[in-house]
Amino acid sequence: MNNQVSRISDIQLPSSVSTLYIDGSFLPPSSHPISSMAYAWTAIDPDGFILESHYNNISSIFPSALRSEIFALLHGLDSLPQNSKITVATDCAQLLSLWSLYVDAPFIPRMLKESNHLLWSSIRTIMSQKNLDVSLIKVPAHADDPLNNHVDALAKAAHNDSYLSSQNCWLLAFYNLILYLWI
């Protein structure tokens, strides 16, 4: 039997990570030449020090603000080592609500009607394969939380990073094809 865990992230965080701050960013066509999605996460140790931050833009056929938030969660969890116990801080109330429906609860066929069900299924798989103990907490958006402000700024910066736009084009095209075929 193959015990290899499939990965979407090439980042491997240390076991000392205790908190992930995540954020997504979506720019609709009215504010950007084309619609754009991006995400970011910041890994924090128990003493509150930033261990690593990551941001990227996401190519998608059906971009949305929620999809960028979910992808931030997916990529952050995939970067964790096995058997991690982690708190994920997000300012997205909808992400918390859907978490309780699609991750904290047993699988239900209704999940397949969710437009982001492939991402939610991937999150469930990563958590199972890596034996992750994950809890989500809500942090206020655009308030005085410096770590949330940091990850928000990173997600927004990803839209304008010309280096990122040339990276992983084939992987993103493949992901979009799979997503398109499932929707």
Decide if 27 is inside a domain. yes
The number of distinct structural domains making up the chain is 1
CATH of the domain at 23: 3.30.420.10
Range of the domain at 103: 19-182
Q: Give the pLDDT confidence score for residue 167 in this predicted structure.
A: 41
Write out the chain's pLDDT in tens, 183 residues.
Answer: 344 445 566 788 989 999 999 999 998 877 767 778 899 999 999 998 899 999 998 876 678 889 999 999 999 999 999 999 999 999 999 999 888 877 877 777 877 777 888 888 889 889 999 999 999 999 988 778 889 999 999 999 888 775 544 344 444 455 455 555 554
Decide if 154 is inside a domain. yes
Decide if 59 is inside a domain. yes
* Cβ neighbours for 175, distance < 8 A, ≥ 6 positions apart: 59
* Cβ neighbours for 11, distance < 8 A, ≥ 6 positions apart: 52, 54, 79
| Angstrom distance (rounded) from CA 38 to CA 159 | 6
Decide if 120 is inside a domain. yes
The amino acid at residue 168 is N
Decide if 9 is inside a domain. no
Decide if 2 is inside a domain. no
Decide if 11 is inside a domain. no
| pTM for the model | 0.81
| Angstrom distance (rounded) from CA 148 to CA 42 | 9
Decide if 160 is inside a domain. yes
